[in-house]
Structure 1
Amino acid sequence: SSDASAEYLGELRRMMDENGVRYQLAELGRVDLGGGGTIAYIMARYGMNVIDNGVAVMSMHAPWEVTSKADIYEMKKGYDVFLRNA
């Protein structure tokens, strides 16, 4: 499994909320397998709390992908908050 603990996810949400970072949570892929198609499951095998995060993309891996500049800005803010507080 590549699920992070509820405590870890709660700490991440607290950091984002306290710093005014807007975010949304979602499940992706086959949630019973974990990892969402990324390498997160490999790190989780070693007991790490792992989450997949990133900007929502419409038509990912298509010739034309669409993202929101606002989402990209909030993601950058979120990364900054995480790196300052982790």
Structure 2
Amino acid sequence: MPDAKIKFLAAEVGGLLLNGEGKRFCDELGHSDYVTSEIWKTKKFSGEALAKEIGISASQLKATFDDYNDIASNRKKDPFGKKILP
């Protein structure tokens, strides 16, 4: 469903991957790194557009990214225990 907030990859059961114009954009059964790379090429979101798409405020999205960047730069400990390599 186009309006669904959660989308999933179902190529292994016969699903098609379509871009915003309704056209196939990759081999759905390709290696996951290839398919993921092709999916990312189709996604062009600003922070505000992404926040709106997932139903949160732009300030909450920014706070989440700022928090993660602090964890990634070792300024803060990850509450989930993820270890960031130097």
TM category (shorter chain) comes to under 0.3
Q: TM-score, normalised by structure 1?
A: 0.27
Return the structure number with greater relative CO, CA threshold 8 A, min gap 6.
1
Say which one has the larger Rg: 2
TM-score, normalised by the number of residues in structure 2? 0.27
